[in-house]
Amino acid sequence: MIPAIAHFVWFGESFPWLNALAIVSAAEVGGFERLVLHTDCAPEVVLRHVGRLSRFEVRPIDLAAIAENAGRELGCVQRLFEAMRGPAARSDVLRALILAGEGGVYLDMDTVTVSSFAELRQRSAAFVGQERICFPNWTFARPSVAAKLKAYVLSAARFALTVAPRGYRAFAAIEQYYSLAVNNAVLGAEAHHPFIEAYVSAMLDLPPAQAARRFAVGPHLLAELARQFVSRPTPVLLLASDVFYPLAPVISEHWWRRVHAPALSEVLSPDTIVVHWYASVRSRQLAQRVDPDYVRRMRDCQLFSALASRYLHAC
């Protein structure tokens, strides 16, 4: 059984309110006994927003301790960590090592938890969510001309529905034509589970130049491992897209669009546990301006604020 611990990773001197929302929502409804933020941010900066959580720990990033808990040589971990070019890639490395050493559920900061992980933790020893994308894992396999053509057609259709009013409704009717691919924004495992151990080993075995490619040590490598473990005696559970990614990449911009009478029931399913809203897409700059006052102003005309308003009492 996966431990009832939620892990978050954050690099940076500031701590946006949306980070606090990710942590508070997990504390409120995620069914966790403890929540740990692994960060290089000053604790007092973090605690301005989340200081009232009694089960919350701010843990400074200690690469030596993380490597030791995972049973890995610090030198190997250090080389991989230093090859990563930005905080997102470094977070990819840390989340795998942390889960290998401690177990639990890792969540990205651009998430909002909407229901409990308890049942999922009890029925699986390792899990990863899938999302609907245009361009599947091309880091380790060269696509055919036909595959490229299909991907670009789907990309154009997705863009059109992104700018169309309530385009997420039409996308739901065609999403089966998009590839299912794993995403590591939400990831769970028992400590030292064979799947997470294999993931860490595969990371450490990559040549630094290949590891430094965008998505290489994150979703693309994870996808390679997930396919191998689905049918093993110690399998990883692959979850449908609506569990963590109810609005697909790019389509997820609809979280931020103005809409009359936003209806969360149109985008969340009974199986949804987490909303990953994709800070890496074009909504990043807007998201930096979000705070409780913004959510109060927008909750009657925006899907994201309608969702976030559930947690205003706690952060």
pLDDT the model gives residue 138: 53
Intra-chain end-to-end CA distance of the chain, in Å? 30
For residue 267, CA distances in Å to 38, 96, 185, 276 come to 31, 29, 19, 12
pLDDT tens for the chain, 315 residues long, are 999 999 999 999 989 999 999 999 999 999 999 999 999 999 999 988 887 888 999 999 999 999 999 999 999 999 999 988 889 999 999 999 999 999 999 999 999 999 999 999 999 999 999 999 988 765 456 777 787 888 889 999 999 999 999 999 999 999 999 999 999 999 999 999 999 999 999 999 988 888 878 778 888 889 888 888 888 888 999 999 999 999 999 999 999 999 999 999 999 999 999 999 999 766 667 767 899 999 999 999 999 999 999 999 887
CA 63 remoteness from chain centre = 21
Which of 72, 175, 184 minimizes the C-alpha distance to 132? 175
**Other Cβ atoms closer than 10 A to 160:** 12
For the chain, how long is the longest CA-to-CA vector? 55
Evaluate whether 41 touches 127 at the Cβ level (below 8 Å).
no
Confidence at residue 283, expressed as pLDDT on a 0 to 100 scale: 64
Q: How far is CA 30 from CA 49, 106, 116, 160, in A?
A: 18, 12, 4, 35
Residue-level pLDDT at 90: 94
Predicted local distance difference test score (pLDDT) of residue 137: 63
Structural domains for the chain:
5-311 (3.90.550)
pTM attached to this predicted model: 0.94
**SS3 state of residue 266:** helix
d(CA 252, CA 38): 27
Reported as type and span, the H/E element at residue 178 is none
- Strand ranges inside 67-137, DSSP E: 104-107, 111-113, 126-133
